[in-house]
Structure formats: structure tokens, C-alpha cells
Structure 1
Amino acid sequence: MKFSDGLWLNQRGFDVSYAVQAYDVTTTKNSIKIFATSSAIWNRAMTLGGVAFEITYTAVAPDMIRVHICHHKGGLQNKPQFELNLPEGYVPDDIHEEDGFVSMTAGHTTLKIKKGTDGWDVSFSRDGKRLTGGGWRSTSYIQENKFHRDARLAVQTDDDFFNYPQDAHNTFMREQLTLDVGECVYGFGEKFTTFVKNGQNVENWNSDGGTCSEQSYKCIPFYITSNKYGVLVNTADKVSFEVASDTINKVSFTVPGEELDYFFIGGENLQEVLVNYTNLTGKPALPPAKTFGLWLSTSFTTTYDEETVTSFIDGMAERDIPLQMFHFDCFWMKEYEWTNFEWDLDQFPDPPAMLKRLASRGLGLCCWINPYISQKSKLFDIGMEKGYFIKNPDGSVFQTDLWQPGMAIVDFTNPEAAKWFAAGVRKLCEMGVTAIKTDFGERIPTKAVYYNGADPIHMHNYYTYLYNKTVFEVLEEYYGKGQACLFARSATVGGQKFPVHWGGDCSAEYTSMAETLRGGLSLCSSGFGFFSHDIGGFEATASPDVYKRWCAFGLMSTHSRLHGSTSYRVPWNFDEESCDVLRFFTKLKGKLMPYLFAQAVKTHATGIPMMRPMVMDYTDDIACRYLDQQYMLGDSLLCAPVFREDGVANFYLPEGKWYDIITGKTYEGGKYHAVTCTFMEMPVLAKPNSIVTFGAFENQFEYDYLEGADAMICNLEDGKTAEASIYDTKANLVLTIQATRKGNVISVETSSTDKTFTVSVAGTDKKITLQGGKGEIVL
């Protein structure tokens, strides 16, 4: 939301007051409280009236400082709050006042505020190095004048129930934090625009806009920068970020109303920033090992019944393509009756028996739902009678025909409504459904009344948290921790606790593949650990080459689902080679499960995303700051999908020698590469000084990851040590392995003396069968 007009002026119609002086300073054992005035105070007469700011800086945890800026604090306390893990009793390392400043140090992060009449200056630094801060015209209170507001409302109408109301606010709070030369900004949730957000206006407002626009299903008011810090704006309201746009050396963030609350989050590197961020907002749950395998969907508007479903599953088995999860999309329920949790018995006469037959083939089973109840659904009258739906201001049920005729929306702020909806999910679990696709949750009205009196504008973004939490908790309660899995589309802060999330409606073309990856990398830069997308694209039907390239990309993502709109996504519908490609990459992922599941366990424990941008691992390599067509899959593998019809993969490698686990080729780092790939190839490169573990995969992704395993040592340099771990499917650590090279000898040591497995050296025929916990490989 742009309020400036160049350097000197503001937009016409807006009056802006700025924090100018830290007039009064008080400290507590963990906070600094500032009474800031909007003009320099030289005498007592100047204290009569005028805008003032009450600002509290609180040390929340090491490297985390909360900033609360208030103009008027008498507003209604009816806004939903993100569920934050705020430690109690934390005391910062130091708070003191001297030489015209007051400062506070929490861990390695120091906040410093200038006192007195010599201008406004706030800085955040790490170990003495300034990271960011505010100064002249940074902290602001903005008010739209009456004439401008009346004129705007006279010509602008807003009949869309789901957009931000034009008449919602006429006051705003804004903070501006500086950017260094070359500093890059990332995150804000799932954003399909350019990965580096500098120069963009980012609106934090969940929308159902597909992957080809600036809109997003998953808006997170959090960003990180290449200067190794993050900022979370702590509100579910619409936050507007001007990222080096209205003022090119600053990030401006503006919230409607009279208060602004944000967290500054530091860290030694970007990974540690996300560890700290997810300490605050929640760690991703660990999805079941089975869910990392290949998912197949009925697709959306296709015609299907049990015979069709069985033919797909048989077809995959006949072609030796391992399938782990089968997904029933919308039409498992009768048309016009979504959501009612009842199978269409015309198409599926005996659902429990069918699900039992499919489960006996080793398949996990997923069903589509959403939080909207059609008027034709048998649940509508019940929900209306019991008050389980979001209401209009006049007390009637909110209804719309957008998506389902006359549909209402479940009010999850009503505990009884949440239990009622959860009962429908539990009924599916009792039939044998093991995962749920929680679609939608973005089109939530802003002129509405909730059971608990929550502010409806704030509920627009927050709604998805309650929706996905309700469903996830049913699965976790029924199947146990580590066995719950959603396939969710919408999200807000904290939504990472309920994985997995997929990228929404993309098109069947190369450009959409690339925009999907950008969205995923932005989402994973915002605290989300796992990410998936519709292999082959959702809209239209891909050409065979796009389908095959997307199969490679999809199987080298954390979660892999074949899904579309108007056509089935089984590979034989494209060409026979598509079956070969899908088989190859599915089996490759299956063999990699000892490595991948160990990385998933780490993501669950730390919050470091399993699928992440290069800048997160190589922040100090300037080239990596701009890369959005490749990514790290865990600590050791770099993936570079092919996004071009000519089969060329363009990628950059940091310093060292990188080993392609598919082709066996070695590439020099420190430069860009352009490699032409067959459909059976995609650059999947093990980084220098790493160990990649492979398992004895057959056709089930849940297997003994240690039995028959191969620990492949990749380009271990003299004097270096590499480490890896193997977990079982219940996330128990079963083995650690360490390799150290001295000259021509690699010494290998493991945590087990009774397990036998192979240790090999990538790119050579050197290998040993390790017994007794120790061994050596002579190169």
C-alpha cells in the first residue's frame, strides 16, 4: 500500500505522522518502552496534543525481539491471534542506557535506540554488524482525510464478499526497515512472482487465483533476507509490503488500524532464522513415510467409478510403476452435494469394501473435502438449525453460488461446529481413508459474523488455520502422531504444522512448471517444510514432453501427485515413454528413501525446509541469491528440473565437485552449466563432502531402510568429514555413519557394530561391505 510520493511528499488525501523523538524511555527486566512523539519536544507547551506512539521492544528469546507500536489502544479485542510459542520468563543478556542510546541484547542480536531530540534511529545488529533498522520517516501513523475517503467510496464499489472491504479502515500503521546494497528479500508465503521480491508490492490476502498471478493461496506475513534475518508481522489482517518499491532502500509494511506488532528474528544463517521462526510458530509435523511415494488421483471433472479406479491401479501395477497413495477427488461425493461426507453410491455401491480391497494392495487412500456445505447437501439443514455456519450481519446464513449452489461455510470458531465437521472426517477414517485433501479455504467473506465474535476481516486469512487444524487433529487422533497427512491448498502462519501443502491450480506448460517451483521455494522460505504440486499441470492436458519433464520434477519434490482437471494423468494416456520415465523416477525416489526420510525427520525437528532455495544453504555465494530454477532437496542433493522443450537444464553449482547420481557425471562448481537431458535424466547432484544413502527398494516406500543399504560417499576432499543418518519408518534413529578422508584413505565409522551394509565411493568402483562398525576404503 503505497503512501509516499517520491522522497519528499505523500499521496494526496493522506496525513502522515512520524516517530521523531524517543521522548520518554523506561526499561524492565526484558523490555524497553518508548513514548515517541511526532515532533521534537523543546518545551512543555509542545506536549499539548499531537500524535504519539507507545512502542514496546521485548526480548522474546535469543535473537528474537518483538516490537509493538501503538497509537490508540482502545480498540476491540476480537481479532484472532496466531498460535505462537512464546517462552515465559526469558531475560535478555543485557539492557542498558548510555551516551544518548538505550540498547538490549538477546543472544547475538542487539537492538539500539537513540534518545533525545536528535532524530529517530532504531537499529538491529548481530555481533556488532548492523543488519537493518529505521530512521527518518520510518515509523508512521497514517490517516486518510475525510474528503479523500468520501470521494474514493463514491466512485469505488465493492460487491465482492471475499475482497478487502473498501470502507474497512481509514487509519494505518507503517514501519520501514532499511535494506543494504544487494540485499535480497524472500518469502511472504507461496508467491508465484519473481523469487527475489525486491521491487514488488506484496499483499497478504489469501485468494483463489491460480499459479499464474500475483495472488496466493498461502499468504504468510513473514520475509527473510540475504542479510540473515527475518520479520514476522503478527496479524491476520491484510498486510501490505512494499519491498524496495515505494522507497527503494527499504521494506515498508503497513497494517490497517491503530497498532502494529512484529517480530525481528535473527540467526547465524538463514537456516537458523527459520529454526527460530518455527520455534515461534510451530514445527512441521512428520508425514508418514508412505506419503513420500507416488500419488495418483482420479482427477477433477473426469468420470470415474470403482471399475475406473481399479483399472488405473491395475495399469500402474502391470507397468511396474510403484504406487503408494490413491486419491479420490470431488466426485466421490454426488454432484451438487459437496461437502456431505457421503459416497456416491451410484458409482461406489460398497465404499468400505472397496477401500478395504485397495488397502490390501498396499495403498494409502485419500479423499477430497472442503469447508463449504451446498444447500443440496444433507448437512445443510443441520448446520443451519444448529448455527454451525458463518452468518451475515443480519443473522442469516451467509450463502453464495460461487463453487456450489447456495453453499454455506462452516464456522470453525464454534466448537460444536468444528466437532460436527470432524465427525465427518472421522467417519471416513473408520472406512479406511488415511489422508485428506483439504481444498479451498481462501474465499472467506469479510462482511460476516462468527460464533465467537471474531473480526471477520482478520478471519479471512485466519480461517484456513482452524479448518486445516480441525481435520489434521482428527487424522492424528485416529492414526497417531507421525501418521497424519493432509494435502492442503490454503494456509496462514502456523499452517506448516499440518502438512502437506500443494501449489494449487497450474497450467500444463513449462512456464507453469517454473512458476510452481517459485511458489514452492517462496513457501518453503516461509517456514513450510514440505511441498507438492500437480504433476503434468492441473489445467488442460500437457504435451508428452511437458508431462515427462514434470514427472521428473514431481518425483524429486518432497511429495509427488499425479492430478489434473479434465483428463486422467495416468502415463499411458501420453505415450509409452511416459510410463518408462515415471517408473524410473518413482523407483529412484524409492531407493532414496533412507536419505529422504532422514531429511524429513530433520525438517520436523528443526523447521529447516526439506525442499529449499539455494540461497538458504549458500547465502554468501552471490549467484545463489537469485536462483529460482533449482533447489536443494535436503542437505546433500541439488535438483535442477528441465523447463525447456529442447531438454536443456540450466543450473549453477557452488564451489567444489558435484556428482550426478543419475548419469554418474561429475561437474565443477563455481560456475553455470547448461546440460541437455534425455527424458530419463534430470540433474540430481550430490554436493561435495556428502553421503547419500540408498535403500533396497522394491515397491513399497515403507521398508527397512538399513537392510541392504548403500551409503555413497560423494567427492570427499582430503581432510574433510562427511556424515549421514538413517531412521526407520517410525522416525527412530537406527544408524549414523561418518567418513573421514586422509590422503588416499577414507575411514568409515558407524554407530552400529552388528549391522551390515555397503559403503561406496561415487564415481569409482571402490566399495566395502561394512561389518563391525569400522572400515577403510583405499582410493
Structure 2
Amino acid sequence: LNSYTSITGKSPMLPQFALGLHAGTYSGGTWGYEDKTSDQYVVELAGKYRALGIPVDLLWLDSTWRLFGEKGGKGATSFEWRDTFKNPKGMFDSIYAMNYKMVGLHLRPRFDNAKKLNLLDQAQAKGFTYPENGKPGEFVNFFDDKATQWWWDNGVMRVAKLGAKFLKTDEGSAFGALANESEKVGPTGKEAERLHNLFPLAYAKAPFLEFEKLNGFRGLNQTREGYSGIQRYPYIFAGDWPSEWQYFAPVVKAGLNVGLSGVGSWAHCMGGFEHQADPELYIRWVQFGMFSPIALVFGMDHPGYKEPWNYGEQALQNFKKYDLLRYRLFPYLYSSMHQQYATGLPMMRALVLNHQDDENVYEIGDQYMFGDNFMVAPVTTKGAVTRSIYLPEGTWFNYYTGEKFAGKSYHHVVAPLDTIPLFVKAGSIIPMQPEMIYAGEKPVDVITLDVFPYADSKYDLYEDDNLSSTYKTGNFSMTKITSFLKDSQLTLNIAKPSGAFKPSNHRYLAKIHWNGRTAPKSVSENGNMLEKLKSVDSLDKAAGWYYDAKVNVIWIKSTGNNDRDLSLKVN
């Protein structure tokens, strides 16, 4: 993968906030209900996420924001707002005032004419559409720099100047093939066939790079199709899978396969896209979605639209629980994203990737590693409250309970409806940030280290400015964290960050899973004894340590911060 992506391109890092929730909407009216769309619906949707305390950072309006034109209908883009959108700029402004980071719009690669705009006629007159049967066609000619720039200046900038900050570039596969929404096939012939696979790349590349310049931070583009190299313009989503149990497990496998193909930044519609979702399916799919490289919720079922509050109270609480956990895991996910950029190793990894000599993993398509440490095992069977899993060589711990499991063996585990089975490698060190409902809501003044001690282990915490592209030229830092366990003595070393970037100051809160060992007698930091406190809540206000015997967890709050090397010792 490293060699392959060295040739076809590494997947660049997205802004850190893009690890948060991406929510799509038909603005209140999918196809057949277009009269119900409105900018007010979108503003109220954004507000409801905030009011319910559901973390989210990106929102996009799918196809019904725009008028379907005279020639291409649903399969083309007129760039003209529906009359039901009274104040698009006010809509964008209102959403950004709620601390959303990016609001985007869906489009398709054909130009079209509508009531007031005739961009198709203009583009054809200038020769900026790809020819069809010897005549001016309807597809923007993204292989022509001048045509691409005209599309940007006269089409995309109409919405970008109002507040749009990214696009969903849909249906690039319709170039030289049958479209989803019409009988049109677009350009034909040998040249069109040759360019068919390349068109989605050129289509995604244009807005990715242009918005990167316009926004002043790292690019982001959502697309449905791609080819070798699409990882350079993240991200790609899995397409319009129906909301039915039979399609759930294949989507998990699709994520593993696309990762093995060098595409790490990948998403899918939690709960499925088409049809009303069974609440149980919605719950299980959301659990998987929150442990996917990109977390995305979107559907076309009217009036549910996969909005978390439309599938029952249990579904809502499940959504919020795992979304909040995902936001806490930002430091871990962000470090994994940098690893993906540097090495080509995807965030979501088929077990065979790291265990190529273990024949037991060759056919496993419903479990995966998420970063270096997490083993995720979604429940994809209706009514199931248990499932069988395979743990590769080594020692593993249940993430929730700390229970120890032997590797290179099968296990049958309990998985009640509100629980996705999660395991971590022995020795795992998992960095976490404070709970937030949007990226940057609070300063990251304490980083929690969730430690599952076992022999000797290490973790490299990656940090940069979360936004700019200067990481490509070395403007980042690494914090080396090591754990050494011998009998009932543990040493946790946290080095001062090294590298060109200087992170903000933060202290550390170590959560050490101490299963099966004698209660600690003392804890020191850099040779100085720390005070034993009376409760874990006391650590909110003071440095020290506390041992929770009921759950066998040692909590240690450091006195020093990341401006120095720290050594925490448990005896």
C-alpha cells in the first residue's frame, strides 16, 4: 500500500473537524416532495442537532436545493436555487453562527438551463462542454483547464460566495455510461470509454483544489465514484445502499476492500440510504458508522431522512452515545489519519492486512482494525445479542470491561443492542480529548490516556494546527508515550513533544486498566509522590491519583504538562 500510494498519491489529511459528524439533508423534501424544501428547514435541522447535544461539524444540502433544469433534469446542475429557498446566504450565515465548520452542496457534472440561468447554453457556445456525437454536449469538460475554470467562476462561485465551502460531486460515472436519473449515456466512442474511469477523478479534483484555495484551509470533497488516485481528493462514500439487513454486512466488506485499494478516507450512509430503516438496523449501522473513517448520516426516506430522532428514543440515545465517544477519540483518529497519509495504511483495516500468515483471517469481512489498537466487530444480524469473533495472535482486552482474551482463537461475546463489540490490543495506549459537541468547543487542556498495560508498548501522538497544509513540510509534532509493566509495577513515560510544531499546553489524565493485580500502594511523577485522592471526581480540580477497586482502574492526573518529559510510576 505504501508503494502503491507513493505512485498513485497519498491521501492528504483532512481538517481535524472532518473527523466529526457529516450530516446530509434533502432540506425537507426528497424527489417527489420538492415543494416541501426550504432554507428554514435546514437551519432548524442544524439547530436541532445542537439543541439535543448531538456532535456535528459538517452539513450538506443534497440535490433538491437547486432547480432541476430543462434538459438534464435531476441528472444535471443549473446552479439556480429553488424558490422555496428565500434567503440562501442567511441560511449559511445562521448555520455557521452555530459553530458548524463547513456547509456544502450536492451537484452533478452536467450543465443545465433553468428559469433565470442558462449556463448550459453559455458553456456550449464557448466550447466548455465535452462533445457528444460531434455536437456540444452537456458534461463540463473537466479535462480542459479553461472549461473547468469557467465552471468554477460562473457556476460554483455563485454558491460559494453565499457560504458553500465544499461540494458533493455525484454521478461522475455517468460520463460515457447510463445515468441514474435518465436514459442519457453522454459521450460515446473509444475516447469516451478511455476517459470513463478518469472523469470522476478530474471532477473531484477541481472543487477540492479550488475550495482549498478559497477557504484557506485543507481541501475536502465528497464523491461517490473514483478510480486509482481518487484518494488524493478525499473523501469517497459507499453509494446508495438500501436500508435493509441484507445490505449491511456487504457495506462493511466494501469499506475493507476500498481500504485495501489505497482509499482510506471512506464513508457510508448510517442506517442505509433508501427506504425507511428498521430502528434496530439503524442502531447497529450507526455503531459501525461511528467507527468508520468518516462518520456520515444521510437518507432519502421521507420524512425520516435518517435523522437520529426519527427512529425512537433508543436509537437517538445510541446515536448520541457513540457520536460523543467518536469526538473524544479525535486525538487517536487524527494520529491514525496522519499514519494513513504517511504510509498509505488505511484507518479501517481488513485483518488480513496485518496478519497475512494467519489463514483464519482470510475470509473475515465483518471485523476490522480501526487504527493500530481497536478491533471492531459490528453486529449485522437482526435480533442478535451475541456474535462470534476471531482475535488474531497476541493478547486482547474487552474495551468496555478490561476482560482479557487470548489471541489466535475464536470467542463468542455478548453484544446487547446498545453495544458494538470493541477490543483493544494488549498494551494499547489510546489518547482522548474532553467531550465536545463540535470541534474546538473546549480547549484540549487535558488529554486522557486510556492504557491497557501489557509488557512493553508504545504510542506516538501526532499533533499539528488541525487546519493548514504545512504538515506536508514538517510542521507537526510527535509525543512518544511508552508503557512498561512488570508484575504489579508500571512505568508510563510521556515525552515532551518533538518536532517543528508547538502544541498547546495540556496535562495528562491516565486511565490505567489494572485487572487482576494487587491494589497500588503509591504513584509518583518524575520521582515525586502524588497525593492519593478520595474520588475520581477530585481529579477534576487537583493532580494526584485514585484507585477505583470496583472496576480495577487507576486514575492519575499529572502535575506537569507537555512542556517537559513526564514519568508516572505505579507501585
What TM-score do the two structures reach when normalised by structure 1?
0.60
- Cα separation, partners in 2 of 1:775 and 1:703, compared to 1, 3 Å: farther
Partner residue in 1 for 2:199? 463
Contact map agreement 2:42 2:91 (CA 8 A) in 1: no
Amino acid aligned to 1:773: D
**Could you tell which deviates more after superposition, 326-335 or 726-735?**
726-735
SS in 2 for 1:285: coil
Worse-superposed segment, 652-661 or 357-366? 652-661
Residue 223 of structure 2 is aligned to residue 488 of structure 1? yes
Question: Does residue 481 of structure 2 align to residue 737 of structure 1?
Answer: yes
2:181 alignment counterpart: none
Once the two structures are superposed, the pairs formed by residues 313-332 of structure 1 within 5 Å of their partners are: 313-332=46-65
Contact 1:613 1:631 in 2 (8 A): yes
Evaluate the alpha carbon distance shift between residue 724 and residue 762 of structure 1 in structure 2; reply closer, same or farther with a 3 A threshold.
Answer: farther
**Match for residue 58 of structure 1?**
none
Q: 1:279 corresponds to which residue?
A: 6
Do the aligned residues in 1 keep the contact of 2:176 with 2:187 (CA within 8 Å)? Answer: no
Q: Could you give the per-residue CA deviations for residues 261-295 of structure 1, whole angstroms, max 9, x where no partner exists? A: xxxxxxxxxxxxx0111111100011111121112
For 1:492 and 1:324, how far apart are their aligned partners in 2? 28
C-alpha deviation, 1:588, in angstroms: 0.5
Deviations 1:334-380 (A, max 9, x none): 13364122322x22212112101100101121211111123546211
The CA deviation at 1:475 is: 1.4
Distance 1:317 1:668 in 2: 42
Matching of residue 366 in structure 1 with residue 104 in structure 2: yes
- CA offsets 1:208-227 (integer angstroms, 9 cap, x no match): xxxxxxxxxxxxxxxxxxxx
Q: 2:38 touches 2:86 (CA, 8 Å); kept in 1?
A: no
Say whether residues 1:428 and 2:155 are aligned partners.
no
Quick one: distance in 1 between partners of 2:439 and 2:402? 24
Q: Does 1:757 align with 2:512?
A: no
Kindly indicate whether residue 437 of structure 2 is the aligned counterpart of residue 673 of structure 1.
no
Query: How many Å apart are 1:316 and its aligned residue?
Result: 2.2
CA distance in 1, matches of 2:453, 2:392: 14
Q: 1:316 to 1:449 in 2, by over 3 A?
A: closer
Instruction: State the distance in 1 between where 2:135 and 2:342 align.
Output: 45
Q: Which residue of 1 aligns with 2:132?
A: 392
Give the partner amino acid of 1:736: K
How far residue 646 of structure 1 moved from its aligned partner, in angstroms, is 2.1
The structural deviation recorded for 1:308 is: 1.7
Query: 305, 308, 323: which is aligned to 1:586?
Result: 323
1:470-549 alignment runs, 5 A limit: 470-481=206-217, 483-549=218-284
Is the Cα–Cα contact under 8 Å of residues 289 and 702 in structure 1 kept in the other structure?
no
**Pairing partner for 1:636 from 353, 370, 373:** 373
Give the direction of change, closer, same or farther, for the CA distance of 1:702–1:626 in structure 2 (3 Å limit): farther
Shift of 1:755: 4.4
Which of 289, 292, 309 matches 1:572? 309
For 1:342 and 1:494, the matched residues in 2 are separated by 32
SS of corresponding position for 2:446: coil
Q: CA deviation at 1:597?
A: 0.7
Would you say 1:698 and 2:486 are equivalent positions? no
CA distance in 2, matches of 1:776, 1:367: 49
What whole-Å deviation, never above 9, does each CA across 1:308-351 have from its counterpart, x for those lacking one? 2233223222322122111100011113364122322x222121
1:678 offset after TM fit, Å?
2.3
Q: Is the 8 A contact 2:338 2:462 kept in 1?
A: no
The whole-number CA distance in structure 2 between the counterparts of 1:694 and 1:362 is 22
Amino acid at match of 2:508: F
Select the structure of larger CA radius of gyration: 1
Deviation at 1:421, TM superposition (A): 1.7
- For each residue in 1:397-432, what CA deviation from the matched residue of structure 2 results, as whole angstroms up to 9, or x when unmatched? 34xxxxxxxxx2111122221111222334433322
Could you say what secondary structure the match of 1:396 adopts? coil
Q: Distance in 2 between matches of 1:661 and 1:747?
A: 21
The whole-number CA distance in structure 2 between the counterparts of 1:508 and 1:544 is 10
The amino acid of 1:775's aligned partner reads S
Shift of 1:437: 0.9
Matched residues in 1 for 2:124 and 2:199: separation?
A: 19
Tell me if the contact between 1:319 and 1:579 (Cα under 8 Å) persists in the aligned partners: no
Deviates more, 1:560-569 or 1:738-747: 738-747
Task: Report the Cα distance in structure 1 between the residues aligned to 2:41 and 2:160, rounded to whole angstroms.
Answer: 23
- Gap change, CA 1:678 and 1:312, over 3 Å in 2: farther
- 2:337 pairs with 1:605: no
Which residue pairs with 1:773 in the alignment?
565
* Aligned counterparts of 1:762 and 1:372: Cα–Cα separation in 2: 56
Shift of 1:449: 6.8
What are structure 2's unaligned runs of at least 5 residues?
A: 178-184, 498-504, 515-551
Query: C-alpha distance in 1, partners of 2:20/2:393?
Result: 32
Say if 1:712 and 1:448 are closer, same or farther in 2 by CA, change over 3 A: closer
Structure with bigger strand share is 1
CA contact (8 A) 1:514 1:629 kept: yes
RMSD: 2.3
Q: Does 1:445 align with 2:160?
A: no
Alignment deviations for residues 36-93 of structure 1 (CA, whole Å, 9 cap, x no partner)? xxxxxxxxxxxxxxxxxxxxxxxxxxxxxxxxxxxxxxxxxxxxxxxxxxxxxxxxxx
CA deviation after TM superposition for structure 1 residue 722, in Å? 1.8
**How far, CA to CA, are the matches of 1:281 and 1:306 in structure 2?**
40
Paired residues of 1:659 and 1:762 also in contact (CA < 8 A): no
Distance 1:624 1:525 in 2: 14
Deviation larger for 455-464 or 734-743: 734-743
**Shift in CA distance, 306/474, structure 1 to aligned 2, threshold 3 Å:** same
Compared CA separation, residues 508 and 553, structure 1 to 2 (3 A): same
Question: In the alignment, which residue of structure 2 is the partner of 1:333?
Answer: 66
CA contact (8 A) 2:166 2:207 kept: no
Identical counterparts, % of pairs: 25
Matching residue's letter, 2:371: G
Q: Following the alignment from structure 2 to structure 1, what is the Cα–Cα distance between the partners of residues 113 and 130?
A: 14
* Cα contact 2:436–2:442 (8 A) shared by 1: no
User: In structure 1, the residue corresponding to 2:212 is in which secondary structure?
Assistant: helix
Alignment correspondent of 2:541:
none
Q: CA deviation at 1:434?
A: 2.2
Structure 1: which 5+ runs fail to align?
A: 1-273, 399-407
Q: Relative to 1, partners in 2 of residues 1:577 and 1:727: Cα closer, same or farther, differing over 3 Å? A: same
| C-alpha contact (below 8 Å) 2:60/2:105 kept by paired residues | yes
For residue 540 of structure 1, report the CA deviation from its aligned partner. 0.6
Contact residue 691 and residue 722 of structure 1 kept, 8 A: yes
Cα shift at 1:773:
2.2
CA–CA separation in structure 2 for the residues paired with 1:449 and 1:580: 48
1:227-252, Cα deviation, whole Å (9 max, x unpaired): xxxxxxxxxxxxxxxxxxxxxxxxxx
- Inter-CA distance 703–624: structure 2 relative to 1 (3 Å threshold): farther
Change (3 A) 1:621 1:702: farther
Counterparts of 1:701 and 1:512, CA distance in 2: 32
- The CA deviation string for residues 15-35 of structure 1, in whole angstroms up to 9 with x for no partner, is xxxxxxxxxxxxxxxxxxxxx
What SS does the aligned partner of 2:253 have? helix
Question: Do the aligned partners of 1:437 and 1:488 also contact (CA within 8 Å) in 2?
Answer: yes
